[in-house]
Amino acid sequence: MPQIKVAGRPIGGGAPVFIIAEAGTAHNGSLQKAFELIDAAREAGADCVKFQYVIADEIVHPKAGAFPLLGKTVDIYRRFRSLEQPFEFYEELEAYCRRTDILFLCSPFGPQSARRLLSLNPAAVKIASPELNHYPMLACFRGSGVPLFVSTGVSTPADIRDALKFIDSPAVLLHCVTRYPMPPEEAGLAAMAQLARRFRRVTGFSDHSEDPLLVPMTASACGAAVIEKHLTLARGGNGLDDPFALEPKQLTQMVKALRRLDPLSRDERLCAVRAEFGAKRIRQIQGSRKKKLTPEEKAIYRTTNRSLLAVSDILPGEALCEKNCALLRSEHNLRPGLPPKQYAAAMKKKAAVPIPNGSGILMNMLKKR
C-alpha cells in the first residue's frame, strides 16, 4: 500500500485516517474567528486545518457576474474580493497553528498566492479541483518537494494523469464531487480504489455532504487514507460554505467515529457501517468503481475549470501576455476559452482579431507572432 509523510506523519499504508478540517474562508476576514476555527479543529482531534488564499483576480473575471449559490444570488467576483486578506493574515494563521500544534494547510488559486504560500515553508499544500490543471500555478510546486493534497472533482482520469505527470511531486489524490452540498448517493466512493490502482497514490475523499457521519465513515470503510470535511463556527454564518459545513460539536463527533474505525480491518469497517446505516444505503454511497463526472459536473466542466480569458481589450496584432489574459473560471456568464494545456502555445501568439475584455480566447482568434 502506498504511503506518504507530511510533517513526519504517515498517511496511507495502514496509518490512521488523516483528517482535514476545511475552514476555508469561514473566518470572513476576522483573525479572531480564524483562531477560533483553528482551536475548534484541534480540540475536535483533526490532524490539520485548511484555509484558502483568495486573490479574486486569480480566480474569476470581474465580468463573471451573479448567479445562485447555496440559495443566494452572489456576484462572484465581488464576493471573492470581500474575502481577500493581506499576506500577513496567512502568516498569522500559520504561526498560530505552529504554536497550538496543528498542521496548517492552505489552497492557492494562482501563481501569486502559490508563491506566497511557498514562502511560509508549508508542510503541505492543497490544490482545489478547478486548479487541478492550472499549469502556471502548478509550476510553482515543481521541484519544491512540498507534498500536495490534490482534489479531483470536476475532472476526468486524463486530467488527473496529465496534472500528476506535470507536477512530478509527492501527492495525495482526494476523490470528490463538485456539488455543494453533495447528496450522499453521488459520492461514488468506490472510485477511490480505481484512483489508487491507476495512479499508485495515496487516496482519500473530500466530502461536501452535510451529515457528519454517513459519508466520512463510509469513506473510511472504502479505504480513504484522508478525509476532508468543511468546518464553520455556526452554520448560520456568512461563509461561502457555512450552510453545509460542520459545527465544532459535529466535527468532534465525526473524528471520534473515525477513530473508532481506525483499528479495524477494511472488512470490519464495512460491516460496522452497514450495521449502522444499512447495506443498501452503503451500496448507494459506494457507487461505481469508475471515476467519472456526475451529470452536474458535466454541465459545469468547462466553466468551473480554468480557461484562457481576456482581462483587457486586446487589439489585432497585440501579443498575448500576462497583462492582457489569464487562466480563470468563466463561471455561468462568460464563454470559456482555451484549456490550460494550450496556455503555453497561446502565449506565443498575437491577436488576429479584436478580442474584447472578458472574452474566451480561442485559437481561431490568434495568429503567429
pLDDT tens per residue across span 42-54 = 999 999 999 999 9
Same fold, 3-286 and 305-368: no
Give me the pLDDT at residue 169, please.
86
In the chain, what percentage of residues exceed pLDDT 70?
99
Q: What is the mean pLDDT of the chain?
A: 95
Nearest to 49 by CA among 184, 211, 256, 231: 231
Identify the three-state secondary structure at position 5.
Answer: strand
What is d(CA 160, CA 240) in angstroms, rounded to the nearest whole number? 26
| pLDDT tens-digit series, residues 229-275 | 999 999 988 778 888 999 999 999 999 999 999 999 999 999 999 99
What amino acid is encoded at 74 in this protein? V
Give the residue extent of every domain in the chain.
Answer: 3-286, 305-368
Residue 203 has pLDDT above 90, yes or no: yes
**Mean pLDDT in residue range 68-79:** 81
Q: What is the largest CA-CA distance in the chain?
A: 67
| Residue range 3-286, CATH number | 3.20.20.70
Please, what is the end-to-end C-alpha distance for the chain in angstroms?
A: 50
Beta strands, E only, the chain: 3-6, 9-12, 18-24, 48-52, 66-69, 72-75, 103-107, 125-127, 148-151, 171-176, 203-207, 226-230, 306-310, 325-329, 349-351, 366-368
**Bridge partners of 127?**
150
Residue 195 has pLDDT above 80, yes or no: yes
Phi-psi region of 65 (alpha: psi -120 to 50; beta: other; left: phi over 0): left
Nearest to 128 by CA among 46, 202, 209, 20: 20
- Going by pLDDT thresholds of 50, 70 and 90, the confidence category of residue 70 is low
Neighbours of 129 (CB within 10 A): 21
Confirm or reject CATH 3.90.1210.10 for domain 305-368, answering yes or no. Answer: yes
Cell of 108: 492557492
- Going by pLDDT thresholds of 50, 70 and 90, the confidence category of residue 332 is confident
What is d(CA 61, CA 188) in angstroms, rounded to the nearest whole number? 32
Neighbours of 292 (CB within 10 A): 13
**Mean pLDDT in residue range 168-186:** 95
Give me the pLDDT at residue 69, please.
67
What are the angstrom distances between the C-alpha of 237 and each of 97, 234, 243, 247? Answer: 23, 6, 8, 11
